[in-house]
Amino acid sequence: MIDVTELAKVLPPWMMQHLNEEAVATVLGNIADGARAEWFKQAGATLFRTRRDYMHGIQPVSWVDKLTTVISLVGMLPRIVEHGMPRTDLHDTLLGPDVPTVPMGERGKHERVDGGFYRAIPFRHAGPNAGGAVGMPMGRPYGGHTMVDDAKRLGRSVYKLAKKLAPTTGMPGGPTKWGGRLKNLEIPKLKRHHAVNIYEGMVRQEKTYKKATQSSYMTFRTISTGSRGWVRPDTTPGVQLSKKVVEYVHGIAAKAFAAYFEGWGSGK
């Protein structure tokens, strides 16, 4: 929020005399655009795996009235990243009563023959030299693992094998033609409760666009009623990037008004 009474403390009297509704609206629009750009900058410098989804959640500047602008952050994942989430048993969220029970191939949980539910959860992996915006770079999770001497070398070897896989094709929710999978990798489990290493069963999904064909690398793990693990640790209070954006706005507001009136006074 930009308070006009606060501006009076930092702007000279001649500027305050010309602080009409039109001037405020013009400068406010510039400040809002700058705030949104700063939000993207903060997200790019702070986030990795969640960067793309978080940035997609930052909405364009909208006007509530002539003197009020809003920039919203929408979407469940962006808001969890921003505000954090208490320790959560993912069995409750991924298999809970609010999740629809659906046939195989559809998005939701599936009934087990012996009772309870299960569903497959996708995990995306990026090349070992990637920044982490579209998936965890291969090898990086094993950094510091007691049974892995060189996590980067491990990532490069997995990536070399994955690139050679026959492609898996198809669209989400539609028919899938499965290709090759990584099997019997001589890699330790990342955590004790894991059934296999995190790259076992990896597929290379291939999509063809107008000008290029791109590959992405996925593994799928099953969560079921009563299974071990699947607890998301407490991440509160989250990254709180919106607070940094507010601080940025407070820091530039007076300068933005001063720059506008200097240009106005010079006839620009």
Beta carbons of 232 and 87 less than 8 angstroms apart: yes
pLDDT on residue 262: 74
Tokens representing 221 are 């793990």
- Judgement on whether residues 22 and 71 belong to the same structural domain of the protein: yes
Containing structural domain, residue 30: 4-81+235-265
pTM of the full structure: 0.74
Which one is predicted more confidently, 251 or 235?
235
- Judgement on whether residues 119 and 189 belong to the same structural domain of the protein: yes
- Judgement on whether residues 30 and 103 belong to the same structural domain of the protein: no
- Judgement on whether residues 40 and 140 belong to the same structural domain of the protein: no
Closest by Cα among 252, 230, 233, 249 to 241 = 249
Tokens representing 91 are 């069995």
Tokens representing 29 are 């629009």
- Judgement on whether residues 106 and 207 belong to the same structural domain of the protein: yes
What's the whole-number mean pLDDT along residues 48-63? 91
Per-residue model confidence as pLDDT tens digits over 172-212: 556 789 999 999 999 999 998 899 999 999 999 998 887 88
127, 140, 181 from 136: Cα distances, Å: 8, 7, 18
- Judgement on whether residues 51 and 178 belong to the same structural domain of the protein: no
- Per-residue pLDDT band for 254 (boundaries 50, 70, 90) equals confident
Closest by Cα among 127, 94, 50, 76 to 224 = 94
Burial 164-177, CB ≥16 within 10 A → b, else e: ebebbeeeeeeeee
81, 165, 215, 253, 254 from 153: Cα distances, Å: 30, 19, 21, 49, 52
Domains identified in the chain, total number: 2
